Chain A
Amino acid sequence: AQTVTQSQPEMSVQEAETVTLSCTYDTSESDYYLFWYKQPPSRQMILVIRQEAYKQQNATENRFSVNFQKAAKSFSLKISDSQLGDAAMYFCAYRSGTGTASKLTFGTGTRLQVTL
């Protein structure tokens, strides 16, 4: 079974600074997808970024980028120019690439605080 580990329960960053959230995963599969979801105080689940394991290039979405290290099974999220609206719980998630569709396996989350 796949597992996802987020070792940082809480992180803090100053506005306009950069922060990196860590995620590691364990799998024996070669084809899979990785995601970061954001959960603000409203508790909605919002997709931040996704990465296909077969792609060597790291995904980027505006101020959000990932550092995907397949051999190390590491998938960290970098938030640049942090804004107050980035304060939220961030979840890393894994999905198998085999089969027609399959479940997401989530980590326990990292709570990000953004300070002035």
Chain B
Amino acid sequence: GAGVSQSPRYKVTKRGQDVALRCDPISGHVSLYWYRQALGQGPEFLTYFNYEAQQDKSGLPNDRFSAERPEGSISTLTIQRTEQRDSAMYRCASSRSTDTQYFGPGTRLTVL
């Protein structure tokens, strides 16, 4: 595919469950970013990778959030013991190193 893909597109879970959100970047893009967007707000940075190395995780809100990109391509953002405040749109973006970031369609997470 030509663009960034994310799965699932929608996820409804119960409080306390773990969720894993997947991002498949544009082929050849070495940098991958995760953002979270609350309704009516701009996206907020969570973490990013260059190849498989996590370069910055300063935006992860707490230790329930983690991300990996083991082979430098697909990335997974995991939220453990979900809480209602975790409900948001989770967006992935990729770029060629310092180039423009292109966003995927997002995963809308709802925690009941």
CA distance A104 to B100 in the complex (A): 10
Contact check, B48 vs A103: say whether CB atoms are below 8 A apart: yes
Count residues of A near B (Cβ-Cβ below 8 Å): 24
Q: Is A113 an interface residue, CB under 8 A from the partner?
A: no
Contact check, B45 vs A103: say whether CB atoms are below 8 A apart: yes
Count residues of B near A (Cβ-Cβ below 8 Å): 26
Q: List the one stretch of A13-21, A44-52, A68-76 in contact with chain B.
A: A44-52
Chain B contacts for A37, CB-based, 8 A? 103
Using CB atoms, name the residue of chain A closest to B41: A108
Q: Is A55 an interface residue, CB under 8 A from the partner?
A: no
Contact check, A44 vs B100: say whether CB atoms are below 8 A apart: no
Please report the number of residue pairs spanning A and B whose Cβ atoms sit closer than 8 angstroms: 59
Q: Is B8 an interface residue, CB under 8 A from the partner?
A: no
Contact check, B50 vs A106: say whether CB atoms are below 8 A apart: no
In angstroms, how far is the closest chain B Cβ from the Cβ of A27? 15
Q: Is B80 an interface residue, CB under 8 A from the partner?
A: no
Task: Point out residues on B near A: beta carbons under 8 Å.
Answer: 31, 33, 35, 40-45, 48, 50, 55-56, 59, 89, 91, 93, 95, 97-98, 100-103, 105-106
